[in-house]
């Protein structure tokens, strides 16, 4: 049994350790981190999953960004502790956070990931989005939280402060 809740200040180092475990400390060299440098995640959308003993089993974060003056939520990282993978924790984090993003009136979400996996949540490969290199353009995914919200949006992804 797991409980999802908003990431708290005291969760920060446990979440960072989980991301290091799942992605290695070399994760900071990934192109997606160029969009996170000097930014703060969107607190209301950063969730953690903990078991009954309070052990951190998973975490998800979102960051503000824009494409040609259009606000975009940038999802990532998301991680599940290896001992809890396959138990639906990642899916619960994604579904819960996307629901919350809709409630907060966000219109679209962007991420870098495997379309085969994320398709079940509604993510699709989107064209015309320019990410910091060396991002594989076939891994740039998006989901509309409002119908047609990706229509006509193309260009370079930039970090923004909100």
Domain boundaries, the chain: 2-159
Q: Percentage of residues in the chain with pLDDT exceeding 90?
A: 79
How far from 47 is each of 29, 32, 88, 122, 157, CA to CA, in Å? 24, 19, 15, 19, 24
pTM assigned to the model? 0.92
State residue 110's pLDDT score.
Answer: 96
State residue 31's pLDDT score.
Answer: 66
Convert the pLDDT of each residue in 99-118 to its tens digit.
999 999 999 999 999 999 99
State residue 112's pLDDT score.
Answer: 93
Cis-peptide, bond into residue 134, ω within 30° of zero = yes
Q: 3.40.630.30, 3.40.109.10, 3.40.50.620, 3.10.20.30: which CATH number matches 2-159?
A: 3.40.630.30
pLDDT at 15 over 60: yes
Convert the pLDDT of each residue in 25-61 to its tens digit.
666 556 676 777 778 899 999 999 999 999 999 999 9
């Amino acid at each position: 049994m797991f409980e999802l809740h908003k990431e708290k200040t005291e969760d920060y180092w446990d979440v960072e350790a989980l991301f290091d475990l799942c992605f290695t400390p070399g994760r900071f060299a990934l192109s997606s981190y160029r969009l996170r440098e000097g930014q703060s995640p969107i607190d209301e959308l950063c969730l953690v999953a903990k078991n009954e003993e309070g052990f951190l089993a998973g975490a998800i974060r979102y960051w503000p960004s824009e494409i040609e003056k259009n606000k975009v939520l940038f999802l990532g990282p998301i991680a599940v502790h290896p001992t809890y993978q396959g138990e639906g924790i990642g899916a619960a984090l994604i579904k819960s956070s996307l629901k919350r993003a809709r409630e907060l009136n966000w219109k679209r979400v962007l991420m870098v990931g495997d379309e085969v996996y994320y398709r079940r949540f509604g993510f699709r490969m989107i064209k015309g989005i320019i990410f910091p290199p060396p991002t594989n353009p076939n891994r740039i995914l998006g989901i509309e939280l409002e119908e047609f919200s990706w229509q006509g949006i193309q260009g370079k992804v930039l970090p923004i402060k909100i």
